[in-house]
Amino acid sequence: MKKIIGAIFAFIGFAIIFVACGSETYADKLKKEEKTINRFIDTSGIKVINKYPETRVFKDKEYFKDPNTGIYIHVIDSGTKDKIKLGDYVTMRFYDTKMLQTNPDTLITNDIQGVTEFAYMYMDYGNTSSYLFSNTNYIYSLSSEYYMYYFLSPGCALPLEYNLGNQAQVSLIVPFSNGSYYQQSGSYEPIYFGRLKYTIVPDAK
């Protein structure tokens, strides 16, 4: 009987330890994400700057860290003189994108031959409700909804605050707190956009 009782208490003890180790708090997720981002920055040779360049020109591998959101921005091309304004309907294509914790070695793109009319992401710039896509009922592979659920985020809209033009291209590291619906409610991981391109759609409304 004593052996049975001892075994029960031992099992309970192991169960408590397992639950304690398996339950990850929000603070734990933030620490894990910070380590992931810092490791990616180090291995990629990225230089972080705390002030947006006055010339608006970024040096190679130079990223501005936005102090309010923790989003890292590198402008590859500022785009044309036709600036993206509030109310513009903007489509986005991304290249060389990585989920830095779950699939750090896999490159993802939504510029896919044969499905280009469906696979772009889009937003109504200035309408923050259009910066997230949460309706999983309409998600299917190689669709706009599929990519928007996983990648569309307030982080994608942030660079447009810096007076970028049509066809502008940026590179981003987006933490989950300002990330997509998937990032905020599922993976809790940062996403790296090697290149994100914005295109204004005229007379879209």
pLDDT value of residue 17: 36
CATH 3.40.980.10 fits 29-200, yes or no: no
pLDDT digits (tens, 9 = 90+) for 149-168: 999 999 999 999 999 999 99
Q: Read off the pLDDT of each residue in 43-57 and give the average, rounded to a whole number.
A: 96
The more confidently predicted of residues 31 and 204 is 31
For 116, counting Cβ atoms within 10 Å of its Cβ (0-12 exposed, 13-18 middle, 19+ buried), the class is: exposed
> What is the rounded average pLDDT for all residues in the chain?
88
For residue 122, what are the β-bridge partners? Answer: 91
Residue 170, C-beta contacts closer than 8 angstroms, at least 6 positions apart = 73, 74, 75, 76, 159, 164, 193, 195, 196
Give the containing element (helix H, strand E) for 64.
Answer: strand 62-65
123-133 tens-digit pLDDT: 999 999 999 99
134 with 166: CB under 8 angstroms? no
pLDDT at 199 over 50: yes
Look up residue 158 and give its two tokens: 């942030």
- 57-110 per-position pLDDT tens digit: 999 999 999 999 999 999 999 999 999 999 999 999 999 999 999 999 999 999
Share of the chain above pLDDT 90, in %: 73
For residue 141, give the 3-state DSSP assignment. Answer: coil
